[in-house]
Amino acid sequence: MAIRNIRLDGDDVLRKECKPIEKMTGRLQMLIDDMYETMYEANGVGLAAPQVGILKRLVVIDIGEGDPLTLINPVIVQADGEQEGEEGCLSLPGLQGTVVRPNHVICKALDENMEEITVEGEGLLARAICHELDHLDGILYKDKTLDGLYSVEQPKDN
């Protein structure tokens, strides 16, 4: 496994639409493993493939409440309710903004075995799914903020 460079706002790759994944390969499994390692190293709860420069429909999510999620070719099939909250992004370090998202989503995707799964999320998980899937279509959370972005103090390494 390796930590990959996270692409930052302004990088063209973050604004491109990603292509579907056709089959699991050794390279794809390595990408998934690298994405988890990169996400954890950066203290994130989600990471989409374009954030590491790969235009594939792949996201990894771990909100710390159970098993991490690998979602290949994910699609939200149902969304309802509403929540307003603060979001940040590993591609926009040091910034946050208020975004309205669905409070409940149902997402269909493929897992690492290329088998169809259905993931149901509420609250933070619903927010993370929506945020990461937006990346696959070249959308950043800053495009959806209510009042724009503002700076937040970065934690200092000890």
Catalogue the active-site residues.
132
Q: Are strands 46-48 and 58-61 parallel, antiparallel or unpaired?
A: antiparallel
Sequence-distant (≥ 6) Cβ neighbours of residue 19 within 8 angstroms? 55, 56, 57
